[in-house]
Each structure stands twice: as structure tokens, then as C-alpha cells.
Amino acid sequence: MILETIDKMTFSLLSNEKVVNASLIYTTTAFDDAALNTSEKYILSGIGIGSWIIHNHSGRSAKVNSKIKVEVGGIMSITMQFPRRKFIMKKSAGWKLRFSLGTKEGEDFLTLIPTVNWKKESYDYILQLNDEFEAECDSFLILQAVHCANCSLSMMTGGRVPALVSI
């Protein structure tokens, strides 16, 4: 899969044949609301300081599919509701910035490496997937990881992000 930055508020997940599989489209520059389009449509909504929920955008009642939360220590967690699983998004501490998404047990299966794109005033990402966990890593989870990386980068560079830990 390939992750393409369209502009600073739109990201597309492409297949190796360059077909759009999914997209993440922000409605505000503060990354607090977005649409996640995969085989289904989801809405990402900021619900408080450093917290987001993602729910189906269907005619039925809105059911929470996952929650994203900024936690102490510079990590972000993604909690999937069905089946109940928790993932941890960490950023590297070295000069070469990278974001790793893994299980709470510490097994990394997705890495995002950001590079600055001055024309788009955003970041391009190199997406690396661990072959052993490729089945678990679907478009929905990858787009949530992109959201975590966007918020983390915006916090580090002083951008508008309502993602501060309330202690």
C-alpha cells in the first residue's frame, strides 16, 4: 500500500496498482474532525482534550467503532471496540523521526516515516507494514495511525491541535 498526501487536510491510501482504497479528509486545520472513507464511511470527532471517537456514518444510530487518546509520555492509543483491541502509537526519540504502531504487548506492525512537503505545507509518509501482521492492518487502522502522526507532528511544530494531555 502507498500513502499519498493530496494536501494538508487530505490523505489517500492507494493499492500498489494506484487505486484509492481509503481516504482521510479533515474538515478543520486543528485535526479535530474528519471523514474516514474505507469500504464504509466513518466520522472522526474530537470529544475533549486529546480524545477522539470514530463512528459509522450510516443512517442507523451512531455506534462508536474506536477511540483515540493522547496519553502521558508522548504516546497515543487506539482502542478498537469490535473486537476489543488496543494499539499504541509511539514516535522515535532519535534524529530520524518515525512513528510505530504496535500492540500493547510491544509488537510493531506498522511504521510511518514523515518527510516535509513544502509545496503542500504538510508531510508525505512512507508506509512500512510488517508482513507477519499484514492481515490485521486494514485501511481503517492505517488511517487512524495517520491521524495520530498528524496530531503528533502538529503538536511538535506548534500547530493548532486540541491534543494536550489533561493531568
pLDDT of 89 reads 94
What is d(CA 62, CA 110) in angstroms, rounded to the nearest whole number? 28
Residue 163, pLDDT score = 44
pLDDT at 167: 42
Confidence (pTM): 0.89
Pick 2-157's CATH classification: 2.60.40, 3.30.390, 2.30.30, 2.40.160.
Answer: 2.40.160
| Cα Rg of the chain (Å, integer) | 15
Predicted confidence at residue 160, as pLDDT, reads 59
Burial of 108 (0-12, 13-18, 19+ CB in 10 A): middle
Cell numbers linked to 115:
518527510
Write down the domain spans for the chain.
2-157
CA–CA gap between residue 148 and residue 69 (Å, rounded):
9
pLDDT of residue 73: 80
CA atoms within 13 A on the CB side of 121: 4
* Cell numbers representing residue 124 in the block: 508525505
State the Cα–Cα distance between residues 137 and 141, nearest whole angstrom: 6
What are the strands, taking DSSP E only, across 8-153? 10-14, 20-26, 33-37, 41-48, 51-56, 64-71, 75-80, 85-91, 99-103, 108-117, 122-129
* pLDDT tens sequence across 59-87: 566 788 999 999 888 789 999 988 899 99
Residues 89-143: pLDDT tens digits?
999 877 788 999 998 888 888 999 999 999 998 999 999 998 877 777 889 999 9
